[in-house]
């Protein structure tokens, strides 16, 4: 159980109750976003998405949320061992068994390791883009001479679908034509169709069809909504916010997965909103920057929030304006059932 000091914070001449963690000091950015979260119901007008009339008025609710982060050294050591050059696809049962053996001596689950592998490959995909495009003429020449798409992917250590895109680009195909061909591969010649199918099957990162990923993410959001609803905490969901902002602003602007209508404090820290991430929160540059950019949009309007990672997070992941949480306290049986039905 965490312990807290109760203090009085004065904002614009008004007293506000504030519970401060004794174990660690917040930096200036966290203090500002925490104060903003506490203030949000007192503003006029209220921030986007928060109703003018909330009946009954917002109440302060405290909940404890134990977390169990993965040490940064574990992420580094496991990452080096499970990520192989040129391998960006789904893993065979044999490959999964190999990973199980690799992580046996590390405090990390198989699901966390597989999610970490996906994150590392995603980052490699982003940072390898220019390198692949710079070699597109060479790749086209090798491809035209009969080299298999997977061999080319291994040469440049890039996702096979991205390598295939580079080859099409080297033929002077425009972006729209490439996009059409990837969505309608029957327009390609026989060899291209065959190689593209091989590339897609071996590429989890750049695969055109990400349907299952979106389904799992939506289910995780549903699970979190059920959890907070069971605690009697009021909130608005992303779908509501998107619909409202499209009608009023012409496009979605600030749409966290959950926007709280009560003054929620998680582990003593104000939490105005939550965003759900159906993956492991790795301490890698690309996903951190992407998540921080998203957090900044939300803190600008609502103040401090939280990111909940389905597969936990690394203690080396540094985010400003959002508390990092794992899914430990949440009932994940709905997600487990979904995964079992898929297999």
In angstroms, the CA 277 to CA 291 distance is 10
Report pLDDT for 204: 82
Report pLDDT for 29: 60
How many Cβ atoms sit within 10 Å of the Cβ of residue 295?
A: 22
From first to last of its 343 residues, the chain has per-residue pLDDT tens of 333 343 333 333 333 444 444 334 444 567 899 999 999 999 999 999 999 999 999 999 999 999 999 999 999 999 999 999 888 988 889 999 999 999 999 999 999 999 999 999 999 989 889 999 999 999 999 999 999 999 999 999 999 999 999 999 999 999 999 999 999 999 999 999 999 999 999 998 865 555 667 888 889 999 999 999 999 999 999 999 999 999 999 999 999 999 999 999 999 999 999 999 999 999 999 999 999 999 999 999 999 999 999 999 999 999 999 999 999 999 998 887 777 766 5
What one-character DSSP code corresponds to residue 282?
-
Q: Whats the size of the chain, residue-wise?
A: 343
Q: What are the phi and psi torsion angles at 186 (to 5°)?
A: -65, -10
C-beta of residue 282 within 8 angstroms of C-beta of residue 249: no
Report pLDDT for 343: 58
State yes or no: cis peptide before 16, omega within 30 of 0. Answer: no
Q: Match 């920057």 to its residue by tokens.
A: 289
**Helices 110-134 & 285-302, crossing angle to 10 degrees?**
100
In angstroms, the CA 303 to CA 320 distance is 11
In angstroms, the CA 129 to CA 157 distance is 10
Report pLDDT for 205: 82
| Buried b / exposed e along 58-82 (16+ C-beta atoms within 10 A) | beebeeebebebbeeebbebbbebb
Task: Tally DSSP H helices, then E strands, for the chain.
Answer: 13, 8
Report pLDDT for 28: 54
State yes or no: cis peptide before 45, omega within 30 of 0. Answer: yes
Provide the residue ranges of all domains of the chain, joining segments of one domain with +.
4-68+211-342, 72-201
pTM of the model: 0.83
Structure tokens at 19: 């519970």
How many Cβ atoms sit within 10 Å of the Cβ of residue 28?
A: 8
> Please, where are the H alpha helices in the chain?
28-39, 72-82, 93-102, 110-134, 136-144, 149-156, 160-170, 175-183, 190-201, 211-230, 238-249, 285-302, 333-342
Report pLDDT for 335: 82
C-beta of residue 308 within 8 angstroms of C-beta of residue 327: yes
How many Cβ atoms sit within 10 Å of the Cβ of residue 24?
A: 8
């Amino acid at each position: 159980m965490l312990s807290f000091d109760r203090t009085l914070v004065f904002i614009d001449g008004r007293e506000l109750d504030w519970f401060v963690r004794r174990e660690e000091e917040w930096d200036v950015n966290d203090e500002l976003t925490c104060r903003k979260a506490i203030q949000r119901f007192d503003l006029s007008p209220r921030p986007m998405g928060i109703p003018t009339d909330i009946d009954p008025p917002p109440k302060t609710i405290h909940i404890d949320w134990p977390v169990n982060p993965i040490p940064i050294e574990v992420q580094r050591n496991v990452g080096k061992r499970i990520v192989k050059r040129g391998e960006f696809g789904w893993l065979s049962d044999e490959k999964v068994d190999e990973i199980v053996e690799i992580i046996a001596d590390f405090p990390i689950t198989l699901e966390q390791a597989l999610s970490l592998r996906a994150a590392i490959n995603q980052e490699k995909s982003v940072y390898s883009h220019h390198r692949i495009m710079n070699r597109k003429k060479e790749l086209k020449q090798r491809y035209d001479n009969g080299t298999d798409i997977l061999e080319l992917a291994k040469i440049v250590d890039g996702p096979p679908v991205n390598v295939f895109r580079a080859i099409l680009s080297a033929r002077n195909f425009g972006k729209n034509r490439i996009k059409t061909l990837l969505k309608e591969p029957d327009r390609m010649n026989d060899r291209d169709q065959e190689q593209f199918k091989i590339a897609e099957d071996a590429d989890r990162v750049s695969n055109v069809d990400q349907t299952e990923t979106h389904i799992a993410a939506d289910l995780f959001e549903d699970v979190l909504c059920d959890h907070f609803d069971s605690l009697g905490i009021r909130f608005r969901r992303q779908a509501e916010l998107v619909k409202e902002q499209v009608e009023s602003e012409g496009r979605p602007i600030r749409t966290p997965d959950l926007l709280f209508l009560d003054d929620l404090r998680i582990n003593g820290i104000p939490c105005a909103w939550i965003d759900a991430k159906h993956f492991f929160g790795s301490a890698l540059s690309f996903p951190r920057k992407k998540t921080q950019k998203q957090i900044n949009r939300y803190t600008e309007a609502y103040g401090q929030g939280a990111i909940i990672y389905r597969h936990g997070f690394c203690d080396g992941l540094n985010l400003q304006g959002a508390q990092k949480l794992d899914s430990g306290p949440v009932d994940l049986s709905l997600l487990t059932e979904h995964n079992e039905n898929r297999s």
